Structure formats: structure tokens, C-alpha cells
Amino acid sequence: MDYTHLGRSGLSVSRLCLGTMNFGPETSEPDSHKIMDSAHEYGINFFDTANRYGGRLGAGATEEIVGRWFAKGENRRERTVLATKLYGEMSDWPNDGKLSALNIRRALDASLKRLQTDYIDLYQFHHVDRDSPWDEIWQAMETAVAQGKILYAGSSNFAGWHIATAQAEARRRNFTGLVSEQSIYNLLTRDIELEVIPAAQGNGVGIIPWSPLQGGLLGGVLRKERDGKRRLEGRAAETLATHRDAIGQYEDFAEELGQEPGDVGLAWLLHQPAVTAPIIGPRTQDQLDSAVRALDVKLDASALARLDEIFPGKKTAPEHYAW
């Protein structure tokens, strides 16, 4: 396993981040525990969750599953760089969501209890809160750091100007601010190349891509469709219809390379200089094993250029749309 620093911090994290969103609603607790054990065996030390995860089992259920895994001991917690998130409403009662100082305090303590730990390595804002001022947000986070409850702060789904503003306000307070940003990023969805990536790079913020295979559309969906193993509906089916030709070219190119499409998609992200670690969200052990293979896929300049031809990217703004 290769490791890299999380943004400009001194924290070392694996080049793949284990996402836990499926743990509970899609993957049983025993199987979830096995996948986390296996991730450690592979050298994956970076785990991501959120207080809202749990699906049909209810918000918080996934953190509880991770917490019971930590409680098994054998240095599971000590070997894990633990990331969780807050923002979404945890009930219909006022102040039980978003980024007010009150909710940061309450949500953090609740996550710590569910996760059965006394600190969180990376505490992330799951979305930008347009109603809470940065002075309030950073004061609450500074207090949490001083209390030893969190070590680093991160964001998710922020625009470039949100990152720049957050960092400017943090510097004004002599606070570290953000060290990471989680954004949707993959060969099909490259919008963050316009402004989020430049803002992140300019502020020492590492990019943690979520949905690295666009919900499976970059994981060999056409072959699975032909084999009768997958049938898409709704938005995924619409996206496939729009990009069917490009996805077909992509799967053919992966075959030329002698690689699985999903491995190529993950490997492409690992070749992007702004990326710290894509989030993989396996439902099964086989899916984890498959994702780890991407670490061994090396794409040369011609392969990267071919992928850009199939899925054109974005230039940095404003050059993408102006001189």
C-alpha cells in the first residue's frame, strides 16, 4: 500500500479510502467487520463514514457498526485514520443539523459515542451551510480541537469559493482550517476541475473523490448489461443512455490495456495530482479485492491522453470558457 499526506497536513493516509455507507443497509454487520479487517490487511488505514449513514436502519447505524468493530480491540482504532461527517438533519427538531456551534458540539459528541472513541481524526462538513458564519463554525471547531475531540477539519461538496473563503477566515483566526475536500470526481464527472481543484491546490487541501466509478457506470456496466447481471433504472439509466458511446469506447480501451474498466477508472484518479485517495464503498469482499487491484494499474501518458479523448475534462476557470 502506498501512503500520502492528507492535504498540507502531516497525516499519512492510504491511497484508497474505505467508505462505509453500505455498512448496515446493504452489508450485514458481520460482513462489514470482515471487510474492515481485510482493509487493514491490505494496508488501508483511512476509513470514511458520516453521522447520517444507516439507510433503512436509521441515521447513525453505520457509525455504530464501525464503533462495535473498534470495540473488538487489537489496535483497530489506533491503526485507523477515522473520518466522519456532520450536516444533515438527525431529527426534525430545530438545531439538529447543519453547522451551528450548537449542532457541531452535539453532533460531535453523538458521533464519538456511536463510534466508541474519544477523538475523530478528520471531522468533515458534509455540505456548505450558507446560514452559519465562518467565525461561529471555526470557533466551535477550535474548541473541539482544544478539547482533543478532533484533530483535523475537512469539507465535502464545497464550491471553489467556499474553500477559499473558509481558508481565509481560518487564517484570520490563526487556525489550520480545512485539510481536505470530498467531491464527486471521476472520468464522467469532471466539473471540479474548473474551480474546486485549483482552489484546493492553492490552499493545501487534498481532494477525496466520492463516487469514483459514477455509481458503477465506469465499472463495466455495458458488459454486465449484456450478460444480464445489471439493469439500470432512473437517473443512472438516463446517464448511461447519454454517454453510452463514450462508455463503450472506455470499456473497449480497458480491454486493450488488459485491465478491468473499474480498475482503470480508479487508477485514472490515482494519477491526478490533486487526488489524495478515492473513496471506495464495497458492499462485498470481492468488491474490496477488485478495488485494491487498481493500485497496481499504471497509465502512461498515451493512455491518459486517450482517456481524456473519450471523456474530455475541464480547463481551469476562466480559461475553460474565456480567454
The predicted-structure confidence for 86-121, as pLDDT tens digits, reads as follows 999 999 999 999 999 999 999 999 999 999 999 999
Out of 3, 42, 53, 123, which one is annotated catalytic? 53
User: How far, in Å, CA of 236 to CA of 229, rounded?
Assistant: 15
pLDDT band at 228 (very low <50, low <70, confident <90, very high): confident
Give the model's pLDDT for residue 242: 87
The pLDDT tens digits for 301-314 are: 999 999 999 999 99
User: How far, in Å, CA of 105 to CA of 101, rounded?
Assistant: 6
The CATH number fitting domain 3-217+272-300, selected from 3.20.20.100, 2.60.120.1440, 3.90.1300.10, 3.40.30.10: 3.20.20.100
Q: Which residues contact 194 (CB under 8 A, 6 or more apart)?
A: 160, 314, 315, 316, 317, 320
Residue (of 15, 78, 90) closest to 53 by Cα position? 90
Whole-model pTM? Answer: 0.94
As a whole number, mean pLDDT of residues 192-215 equals: 97
pLDDT band at 229 (very low <50, low <70, confident <90, very high): low
User: How far, in Å, CA of 179 to CA of 203, rounded?
Assistant: 8
Q: Which residues contact 300 (CB under 8 A, 6 or more apart)?
A: none
Active site residue 87: no
Radius of gyration of the chain (CA): 20
User: How far, in Å, CA of 199 to CA of 197, rounded?
Assistant: 5
Helix, strand, coil percentages, rounded to 5, for the chain: 45, 15, 40
User: How far, in Å, CA of 304 to CA of 98, rounded?
Assistant: 39
Q: Give the max Cα distance, the chain.
A: 58
- Residues 263/16, Cβ–Cβ less than 8 Å: no
- Residues 101/134, Cβ–Cβ less than 8 Å: no
The pLDDT tens digits for 131-188 are: 999 999 999 999 999 999 999 999 999 999 999 999 999 999 999 999 999 999 999 9
Unique residue bearing C-alpha cell 481558508: 167
The pLDDT tens digits for 44-73 are: 999 999 999 999 999 999 999 999 999 999
